[in-house]
Chains A and B, each alone.
Chain A
Amino acid sequence: AQKITQTQPGMFVQEKEAVTLDCTYDTSDQSYGLFWYKQPSSGEMIFLIYQGSYDEQNATEGRYSLNFQKARKSANLVISASQLGDSAMYFCAMREDPGNSGGSNYKLTFGKGTLLTVNP
């Protein structure tokens, strides 16, 4: 069974500083995908960044980067130059490998989330 662990229930960061949100995962699959989503108080889950297990380079999307350490099974999210609008819940998630089933598998397993508060 897959498992995602986010050990930081809450994090505080000063505006314009960088922050790292931790995520570790457990899987016996060789092929998997890791995601980070942001959930503001409105409830909508906003996709931030994706890392495939075979991707050699760490994923980056604007101010977001994913520090992928496969051997340690960690996929930490780094937000650079934090903004007030970054205050939200952040979820790490993992997708099972679709294998040879002929179709992609979109079942995601989510961590419990980290509540990030950006202070002015």
Chain B
Amino acid sequence: KAGVTQTPRYLIKTRGQQVTLSCSPISGHRSVSWYQQTPGQGLQFLFEYFSETQRNKGNFPGRFSGRQFSNSRSEMNVSTLELGDSALYLCASSLNSPNTGELFFGEGSRLTVL
């Protein structure tokens, strides 16, 4: 069973550019969450999608957006990049089980903003 796949794995952008990251969840999983990981702030929740609807959103500016497609694949976009957006962006998928809520994470997309 394939795991959560994130692309690209590494990318370098400059300030002011925008970036789109992609996440393919485990087959059958309908919930996809995104997290930002930085050395200073640690892991922070960005947003969660279920059946193409955003269910939860973290405390990030509007430059951070996302969407989910009918096949549960998700993308997140960051516009007008800032140096502080350099981070590891992790995607996680889940079956939406109410009992454990186990999340399966991908290996992340490491973004460097110059």
* Cβ-defined contact, A33 with B100, below 8 A: yes
Range, interface on chain B: 20 to 34
In B30-48, the 8 Å CB interface with A consists of 31, 33, 35, 42-45, 48
Q: Which among B45, B55, B97 is the interface contact of A108 at CB below 8 angstroms? A: B45
Interface centre among B58, B94, B101 (most CB of A within 10 A): B101
Question: CB within 8 Å of A: which residues of B?
Answer: 31, 33, 35, 42-45, 48, 50, 55-56, 58, 88, 90, 92, 94, 96-108, 110
- Contacts A/B (CB < 8 Å), 26 sampled: A33-B100, A35-B101, A43-B108, A44-B106, A44-B108, A45-B92, A45-B103, A46-B105, A47-B103, A47-B104, A50-B101, A52-B99, A91-B43, A98-B98, A105-B48, A105-B55, A105-B101, A106-B33, A106-B103, A107-B56, A107-B58, A108-B33, A108-B35, A110-B42, A110-B43, A112-B42
